[in-house]
Structure 1
Amino acid sequence: MKLILIQPPIQDFYETKIRLQPIGLAYLKAAIKKFLPNITVKILDFHQNFGRKTISLPSELNYLREFYPCPDISPFCTFYHYYHFGADFKQAAEKIAQENPDIIGISILFSSYFREALTLAKEIKKVCPVPIIAGGSHVSAEPLSILQSPWIDFVIYGEGEKPLIELLKQFQGNKQFEQVPNLGFKKNNKFFLNPKKPNYPFEELPLPDLSDFSLNNYQFQKKPLYFITTSRGCPHQCTFCSAKSTFPIYKKRSVENILEEIKIRYKQGYRVFDFEDDNLTFFIDDMKKLCKLIIKEFPQNKIRFLAMNGISYLHLDNDLLLLMKKIGFTDLNLSLVSSDESVLRSCHRPHTVKKFTQIIQTGFKLKFNMTAYQILGLPHESISSMLTTLIFLARQPVLIGPSIFYLAPGSKIACQFSPLKEKDFFLARSSAMAIETKHFSREDIYSLFICTRIINFLKQFDINTSLNNLLLSHKTSNKRINIGLEILRKLIYEKKLHAYTGKQFVELKKFKWEIFYKLFSRLKFITSKTGQKIFI
């Protein structure tokens, strides 16, 4: 029996190129190899290394044309072109058919890209009519909606290793699918979802099998990159997060087990390790122990660690930050969400602004490159509250990572809205700016988003000066910086924001001057990444 596991292409305004390693599929392959060694498994990544092509903007996003009206090469650019990232659907299907699989598994991680997975499944069925299984985070949140597709035969929701292996056993045996945990299947034109049962203990799972990819297939700054997960799930209950639909219980691996994985991958040639945990440092003492063991085990400056999925600042302290710096962490991605304590409480988020400030101060002393993430457009948050958070972050030695809120299927906050439909799944992306409330409009969120770009632009200047002096007297040979300064001058004196196409300035009519004015009239100063200040 041969199983093909697929990472499908996606379509969007942008992609996150460095976070494409299909580690979930690699875990599945390794588990099958361990428990069902007679089954051949191959992973095909149809997203990475296939380039991109411009495609038409989907009709559901036509309302964005007014917000993204032209190409923009300025420092404050948003989006314009809509792309297909990855292999052509038909070509991918033909490639799969050439493998002569008996079963196919397709990953649907993000709700906004479920259509691409179903389109690929449709094309596969035309040339390779074998059973198709769908799994991944979106399937875990909305299993029935995916199972109802005519191109999908089975779904696995929740953790996938044990359910997939039990399903494959049934394919080899009596096909009693009702005995497979976490499985959705079809019978007599009816849909069935079997109860969930616990997965194999995380510690007992074999290391992800990446044998289908070369060492250089996934890189960070031209060095081989390896995704590592020390835990699954998160003990917190943040209402905007859907992680618990896949991992309802937080589970972790031992420090010794994690270190052994790093040692194995280092011998294989990996030099950059990205922790993809939802809450890497929850057990802070274990993380300290891991850092100390890494310091003993590996040569200094020969290995680099990242946590691109973010780190909970609630579970950091001065000692741990120092250890993380020593083992090769250079960047910290910290999710503030909001500086409004009432907003944090409403999100069931136990974090505090006081703790965040302490971590930022220590991180600055240790010379970390820090990015702090703010959610723009939480349904219950006001414009005033969002502005207050933006002002707070502007005064910290961090870059601001704006994340525009969207309804994540499976999240608690999504339950406060009408039942989500397929269009809502498609719009579950920041670039869609899909959510408006009585507190704010789409124009407000768009304007706040661009304001974060303006602040980050000013944070790059490593000088103590005033904004007025910067705009009037700063000279540089950097064309893009000069464009940014010219746009800021126009914004302040004409009260209009412009894009720059490379040939001309184009007014962005959806940008609200009032938002910019409210922000900068309260701002007083902006702190750069190096601690310098630009006074407003």
Structure 2
Amino acid sequence: MKVAILNHPFTDFYSSPKRMNCGALYYLGEIVKPHTYCAFDLVRNKKKEIRIPNSLRYLSEYTASDKTNYSFFQKYYKFGDAGLLDPDKFVAEEFDCVLVTTFAFCYFEGLKELIEYIRKFYRKPIIVGGSGVSSNPGYYLDNLDIDFAVKGPAELSLCKILDSIEEGREVDYKGVFSKEKRTASDNCADYSFKPYVFLRGDTLMLQLTRGCPKDCAYCSIKLNSGDVYRKSPTDLLESALQTRRLDGAKVYRINFEDDNLTYDWEYFENVMEILKKNVGSFTFSFENGVDFTTLDERKIYKLIESGISQWNLSLTSVNYDTLKNSKRNYILELYDSIMNIIEKYNLPVITYFISGLIGDKSDNILATILYLAGKRTALGISSFYPVPNTKAVLGLKEEIVPELAKGSSFYKWGDVSTKKLITLFMLSRFVNSIKTVTVKEWMDFSVKIFKKNADFYITGAMSDKTALSKTGILVSIINEDIYYCCKVGEEYIFRKRDLDDQIIKRFFFSIKNDIIIKNSGGEVISGEIWSGLWEKAYRS
């Protein structure tokens, strides 16, 4: 049986290497064997600016051109294109079945575009699977012209579906939904899987574990991979690495895509030994975040010794009630103790937290921002996005529309308004911008700032984004508001953003009175710096 395996285009303000990665196509190709397959990467590096969809037009007022590095999103994009699939060539291949993988419910519209395009010239079975489908397979069947929606791991049912189609038998397996048969998924079924190993240039992407025994209310891992923590056999990882033709002279960057790789420390240590043996020189990071509750001083030192290049920590919130409601069972003091150890070493840190969880308050989110401002870490704010059938949305009465379920949509799913969500997002970026500058760089900074009506401006050839950002920070702190930068003629104008006044007032009061900001080098940025710079810079 001959199978076409495709990804699909999607739209958003931004993308990431993971979203543009075609490795999943070839991973699925290994799963469907002995059936033959051909992979079609319809995302590639194709990126096109498009208009913001009508459903997101409420964001347009925030997308003004801004030359600082703490700006809001300014352009909306389409990544990939269904038109990359040539109809004549595709039909000539005489595929018996099409398999489309989709990684997020919020990108449903891009999948719909692809399915409608394919159905113009192809009428044989189409199977759709992946994380997006696993969250709500019925939605996909109700709104797409497809034959099967697969919930859960592909290893459990994909080959069985293909065998049944080939032999003309009824497709009747757990986790496989069709127009005629809506079955219950068995995510807890025992299954094994191969390690995900994808090499592009000097970057090696790995995913070696699946499932999660934890009970975080907003997480969708269980819908796709189950609640049992599973590990791919290490001998299969070694075999996969040996087939990749790795260059012993290169220093590779390894990106672990796992959500809980350090959950089993003995397994992780075995993985690192295999990587040392087969990859040679490398650094690594956990781009999806590492669970800091699994760490201690000995393990932190071991990770540093092994070549970790950046810490990606997941905090969620500093508020106890928010953590409790989200089923994040730890206390803030544990994060403090881990950070006290990590801060001893000169490595970048990003701490992720969630803004706008159902039941959360803007005061709690601001408290998290102010708390992290005083830590040697960048702030990784993520606006809450609802995933169907997770515990966090069980009481949600409003329909979850895919376009609004993106983190970048800043939609009001709980008690925090869109304007407040964007204000908190902008403050996080503002703090991060401050953190990138050393005390010496601030002291050496020189600029002449003038005022015109309600705006501030500078003249001359200052086109450097870093300098414009420093100026914007200075104007913002002295005037206790967030100012963005646009160019009008030969002048760079700094204008006040229309954000939530109460949050802005509390933020600037805090950083001027009782909250310190610690930069990425661990230096404290004090209030005396701002006042001294303003006295030298401002020209009334």
TM class, shorter-chain normalised? 0.7 to 0.9
Q: Residue 522 of structure 2 corresponds to which residue in structure 1? A: 531
Say whether the 8 Å CA contact 1:22–1:45 is kept in structure 2.
Answer: yes
Choose 129-138 or 290-299, whichever is displaced more. Answer: 290-299
Aligned to 1:433: 410
Worse-matched range after superposition: 494-503 or 231-240: 494-503
Residue 274 of structure 1: aligned partner: 255
SS in 2 for 1:278: coil
CA 1:454–1:258: 2 relative to 1, 3 Å: farther
**Equivalent runs, 1:336-355 vs 2, <5 Å:** 336-355=315-334
Q: 1:464 to 1:482 in 2, by over 3 A?
A: closer
One-letter code aligned to 1:534: I
Aligned to 2:191: 201
Tell me how far 1:56 sits from its aligned partner.
Answer: 1.9
State the distance in 1 between where 2:216 and 2:430 align.
Answer: 29
Q: CA deviation at 1:208?
A: 4.9
**1:402 Cα shift?**
0.8
Using the TM superposition, give the Cα deviation of residue 528 of structure 1 relative to its aligned residue in structure 2, in angstroms.
1.0
Match of 1:260 among 238, 241, 249: 238
2:179 paired residue among 168, 176, 186: 186
Deviation at 1:59, TM superposition (A): 0.8
Partner of 2:62: 67
- The share of aligned pairs that are identical, in percent, is 23
In the aligned structure 2, how far is the partner of 1:363 from the partner of 1:258? 33
> Equivalents in 2 of 1:116, 1:293: separation in Å?
39
Looking at structure 1, the residues matched to 238 and 386 of structure 2 have their Cα atoms a distance apart, in angstroms, of 38
Matched with 2:31 is 31
CA contact (8 A) 2:187 2:226 kept: no
1:457 Cα deviation from its structure 2 partner: 0.9
Trace 1:416-455 onto structure 2 (pairs within 5 A): 416-418=395-397, 420-421=399-400, 424-435=401-412, 437-438=414-415, 440-455=416-431
Task: Give 2:346's aligned amino acid.
Answer: K
Which segment drifts farther, 243-252 or 114-123?
Answer: 243-252
Separation in structure 1 between the aligned mates of residue 225 and residue 255 of structure 2, nearest angstrom: 20
2:354 counterpart SS class: strand
Matched, 1:3 2:32: no
2:150 corresponds, among 141, 152, 156, to: 156
Tell me the TM-score normalised to structure 2 length.
0.86
1:104 CA drift (Å): 0.5
In structure 2, what is the Cα distance between the partners aligned to 1:265 and 1:417? 48
Check the 8 A contact 2:480/2:504 in 1, yes or no.
no
Contact 1:159 1:199 survives alignment (8 Å): no
1:116-515 correspondence runs (5 A)? 116-177=110-171, 179-187=172-180, 191-193=181-183, 195-196=185-186, 201-202=191-192, 205-208=193-196, 218=200, 223-253=201-231, 256-257=234-235, 260-261=238-239, 263-264=241-242, 267-269=245-247, 271-292=252-273, 294-295=275-276, 299=280, 302-418=281-397, 420-421=399-400, 424-435=401-412, 437-438=414-415, 440-463=416-439, 479-503=464-488, 504-505=492-493, 507=495, 509-515=497-503
CA separation in 2, counterparts of 1:375 and 1:208? 28
Q: Helix, strand or coil: the match of 1:192?
A: coil
Of residues 251-260 and 127-136 in structure 1, the stretch that sits farther from structure 2 once superposed is 251-260
Cα pair 1:255 1:290 within 8 Å, conserved: no
State the Cα distance separating 1:498 from its structure 2 match. 3.4
Q: How many residues align?
A: 508
- What CA distance in whole angstroms lies between the structure 1 residues aligned with 2:71 and 2:478? 20
**Deviations 1:153-188 (CA, angstroms, capped at 9, x unpaired):** 1111111123111101101213211x322111124x
Q: 8 Å contact 1:497–1:508 — kept in the other structure?
A: yes
| Contact 1:393 1:400 survives alignment (8 Å) | yes
**SS class of match (2:123):** coil
Tell me: CA distance 1:260–1:87, structure 2 relative to 1, closer, same or farther (3 Å): same
The alignment yields a C-alpha RMSD, in angstroms, of: 2.9
Q: Which of 400-409 and 264-273 deviates more? A: 264-273
- Report the Cα distance in structure 2 between the residues aligned to 1:207 and 1:295, rounded to whole angstroms: 17
CA contact (8 A) 1:21 1:227 kept: no
Tell me the alpha carbon deviations over residues 216-254 of structure 1, each in whole angstroms, 9 at most, x when there is no partner: xx3xxxx43232222102221111111111112223226
Q: Distance in 1 between matches of 2:221 and 2:65?
A: 35
Aligned to 1:76: 70
Q: TM-score, normalised by structure 1?
A: 0.87
| CA offsets 1:103-124 (integer angstroms, 9 cap, x no match) | 1011121111111111101101
**How far apart, CA to CA, are the structure 1 residues paired with 2:37 and 2:518?**
52
Q: Which amino acid aligns with 1:162?
A: L
